[in-house]
Amino acid sequence: MESLYNTDYHQWLRQQRELLIQGQLDQLDIENLIEELELGINQNLDTLESHLMILITHLLKWDYQEKVLQDPWVDECVKHTWMPSIRNPRAKIRQLIEKHSNLKPQIDRVLAKAYSIGKQDAIDEMNEYARHDHQRLNQSSFPEVCPWSFEQVMDKSWPVSKHSP
């Protein structure tokens, strides 16, 4: 069985499925099945975290521009380009959770982890637009923990773009 796992992965999967259906549990490749299950679980969580990180990065940038920076140049030339990086991850997150509802209990933990990464990315990216030293961001520029719930992060009505169709 292990050689099939290494030589023809899809055939191995079909074989394992058939063995499960037929109740031939003693013939299953348990070691590789466990590994594949763990990989699948981690892959979905990693995908969720990645989409949330991108979304949070751009929501933080948007929020900071609106409430603190208020730089007309960023408003006119840059901010509207962040909307796809807000809309697209939201759609992908919805699809992922719809397809893998077992991710729901993990959302708060993944959101917290994604926030810490997204926060640093937002700081780095916003500092690229800083035209004066007083505009530069650091860790204290944003809250220590995510200021929004998952529902708020996923709210399609926020933020509102002046450039939206």
pLDDT-derived band of residue 29, with 50, 70 and 90 as boundaries?
Answer: very high
Per-residue pLDDT, 55: 98
| pLDDT tens-digit map of 71-126 | 898 889 889 899 999 999 999 999 999 999 999 999 999 999 999 999 999 999 99
* Inside any domain, residue 7: no
Q: Which long-range contacts (CB under 8 A, 24 or more apart) does 150-158 make?
A: 150/107, 150/108, 150/111, 153/52, 153/55, 153/56, 153/59, 153/111, 154/90, 154/93, 154/94, 156/87, 156/90
CA 9/CA 150 separation, integer angstroms: 37
Per-residue confidence (pLDDT) for residue 163, from 0 to 100: 52
Residue 22 lies in a domain: no
Identify whether 158 is part of a domain: no
Rounded to 5 degrees, what angle do the CA atoms 124, 147, 55 make?
Answer: 50
> What total number of domains does the chain contain?
1
Asked if residue 160 has pLDDT above 80, the reply is: no
The rounded Cα 151 to chain-centroid distance in angstroms is 14
Integer Cα distance of 64 and 123 in angstroms: 10
49 occurs within a structural domain:
yes
Q: What percent of the chain has pLDDT over 90?
A: 71
Report whether 159 contacts 63 (CB < 8 A): yes
Mean predicted lDDT score pLDDT of the chain = 91
Question: What integer is the mean pLDDT of 32-55?
Answer: 93
- Other C-beta atoms closer than 10 Å to the C-beta of 120 total 14
Residue 97 lies in a domain: yes
- Which pLDDT band holds residue 162 (cuts at 50, 70, 90)? low
Residue 16 covered by a domain: no
- Output the pLDDT for position 165: 46
Q: Does 80 fall in a domain?
A: yes
1: pLDDT confidence band, cut at 50, 70 and 90?
Answer: very low
If DSSP codes are grouped into helix, strand and coil, which group holds residue 116?
Answer: helix
Domain span holding position 56: 41-153
Q: Kindly report the pTM of this predicted structure.
A: 0.81
- Please check whether residue 30 lies inside any domain of the structure: no
Kindly report, residue by residue over 30-43, the tens digit of the pLDDT: 999 999 988 888 89
